[in-house]
């Protein structure tokens, strides 16, 4: 069975860009969980958070992950919080190999600057928020899959690093 390539990792680590690069290099289809949620809900991620709250978002995120994890031979780009639920990881791991993209909090701060569609980062002190969330989630990312450092690398270089690892 052809395994899925799953990209996980914190906001701003470049999952969507790397997914597109992998798709170009390998000719595999990409499912971006956040984009699939936005299409099915007809709302942006920020609108979903503000209208229904984070718990509701996590529920539909799990439903989308369960749906797309059953595909074969595709690339799945997840949202940064996908690692929060064990059932998400179990489903993704069942048919796929998970790569967790990493970057320093300074790089994440730079890469997420100016992006208004990250409700968890809409606060006064974004640096503190990023550090707080990263610290809490770091053990979850480490447990979820193979860590890939993205610091100073292009999406093309990161995609090739992943391609060299996949069996
Ligand atoms: C989230 C990350 C976002 C999106 C939502 C929540 C998180 O995805 O799913 O805003 O909890 O880290 P990206 O990692 O693609 O920004």
Give the closest residue (by CA) to ligand 1 atom 2.
Answer: 80
- Quickly count helices (H) and strands (E) in the chain: 8, 5
Atom of ligand 1 nearest to the CA of 81: 11
pTM: 0.97
| CA 121 to ligand 1 center in whole angstroms | 9
Any atom of ligand 1 within 6 Å of the Cβ of 81: yes
Any atom of ligand 1 within 6 Å of the Cβ of 80: yes
- Mean pLDDT by runs of 10 across the 167 residues of the chain is 93 97 98 98 96 98 98 97 98 97 96 89 94 96 97 98 94
CA angle 71, 33, 98 (to 5 degrees): 65
Buried b (16+ CB within 10 A) or exposed e, 115-139: eeebbbbeeeebeebbeebbeebee
Axis crossing angle, helix 15-26 with helix 155-165, rounded to the nearest 10: 60
């Amino acid at each position: 069975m052809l395994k899925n390539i799953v990209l996980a990792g914190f906001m701003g680590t470049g999952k969507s860009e790397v997914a597109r690069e992998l798709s170009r290099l390998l000719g595999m289809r990409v499912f971006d969980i956040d984009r699939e949620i936005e299409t099915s809900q007809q709302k942006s991620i920020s609108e979903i958070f503000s209208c229904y709250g984070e718990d509701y978002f996590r529920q539909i995120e799990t439903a989308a992950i369960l749906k797309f994890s059953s595909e074969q031979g595709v690339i799945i780009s997840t949202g940064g919080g996908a690692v929060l639920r064990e059932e998400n990881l179990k489903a993704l791991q069942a048919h796929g190999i998970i790569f967790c993209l990493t970057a320093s909090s300074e790089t994440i701060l730079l890469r997420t600057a100016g992006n208004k569609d990250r409700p968890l980062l809409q606060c006064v002190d974004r640096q503190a928020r990023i550090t707080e969330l990263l610290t809490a989630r770091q053990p979850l990312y480490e447990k979820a899959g193979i860590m890939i450092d993205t610091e100073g690398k292009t999406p093309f270089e990161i995609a090739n690093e992943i391609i060299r690892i996949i069996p």
